[in-house]
Every structure is written in C-alpha cells, then in structure tokens.
Amino acid sequence: MLEWDVAAEVYEIARKFSDTPGGRYKRLGPYSGEEFRDVLVDLLSKNEEVEVVLDGTEGYGSSFLEEAFGGLVRLKRWPVEELGKRLRVVARNRSYALYADQVSKFIKDAATHESG
C-alpha cells in the first residue's frame, strides 16, 4: 500500500483573510474571530491538514483569537485530538510567537471547559 504525504493547505491570515483582524463577533464589525472561525471550518472540511500562518497582520486582539480557535473547539465538529493533528497554527516571525501561544491556550481552555 502506498502512503501519500498529504501537503497541508497553507492559509496566511494577512494575505487571504485580513491584515486588520477585528473583534469577536460578526455583528460588531468586519474580519471578526467568528468570521475567521467559519473560514477554519471550511478549510478543515476540504483539507486533511491545514496550516494557519499568523504573521503579517497589524496584530490580534485576544477576542479574535479566542473566538476563532476556542470557538472552533466549542463547535464540537471535530474532536480536539483530531484538531491537534490536522490544524497547525504557526508564527514564522518571533514577534508573532506570542499569538501562537495564545491560540494554544485558548484551544486548551476551551477543550477543558467543554469536557468539564
């Protein structure tokens, strides 16, 4: 049996979504965490692996990141373990590393809360 390396779909937020991410909810303004969560759902539905690149934006508010990634866990569409294998959130530049750390925390906290 042949095993195929599945190339991850690389999604750069700054280029494909917005370089000015907004707040938490769609109803409060454009490029919200909720809107980006929908993008993540779409990407994960169509691709085996997804790599989200955080670099290049003006920055992120914690509400955006929490709603996008913590909200993805709360959707319960995929088990957290599966998300851990299929979704990579990366910071190529050191100055974006803190946002990658925040994303990990938000995913973990959402998972803890959902299971608790």
Partner 1 sequence: MPALRPDTLRIEPPEIFSLNRNYADSVDFLNKIREETSKKQTRRFVVDLQTTKHIGPAAGLCLVAELDRWQRINKKKLSPLTLDKWDLNVRRYLFSMGFFQLLGTRVPVSLRTKGDAMSPIWLPYFSSTIIKGTLPKILRHHIERQLGSLGDLRQALYGPLIEAIKNAVEHAYPDELLQTPDSQRVGPRWWMLGVAQPLHRRIRVIIFDQGTTIPGSLPTSSLWEDIKHMVLSRGDTDRDRIATAVQYGKTRTGLEGRGKGLAEMVGLAERDPTNHIRIYSRSGFYHVVGNSPFVSEGREVPLSGTLIQWDLQVPET
For residues 77 to 116, the per-residue mask of contacts with partner 1, x marking binding by CB under 8 A and - elsewhere, is ------------------xx--------xx--xx-xx---
What token pair was written down for 17? 């979504």
Question: Which residues neighbour 52 within 8 Å (Cβ) at sequence distance 6 or greater?
Answer: 11, 13, 40, 87, 88, 89, 90
Q: Is 63 helix (H, G, I), strand (E, B) or coil?
A: helix
Q: How many residues touch partner 1 (CB under 8 A)?
A: 32
Q: Residues 24 to 83: which contact partner 1 by CB under 8 A?
A: 24-25, 28-32, 57-64, 66-67, 70
CA 1/CA 67 separation, integer angstroms: 41
21 binds partner 1 (CB under 8 A): yes
Nearer of residues 46 and 116 to partner 1, judged by Cβ: 116
Dist CA 48 CA 86 (whole Å): 6
Nearer to partner 1, 25 or 78 (CB): 25
Across the beta sheet with 87-90, the strand order is 9-12, 50-53, 87-90
Could you say which of 8, 12, 14, 18 contacts partner 1 (CB under 8 A)? 18
Binding residues for partner 1, per CB under 8 A? 18-25, 28-32, 57-64, 66-67, 70, 95-96, 105-106, 109-110, 112-113
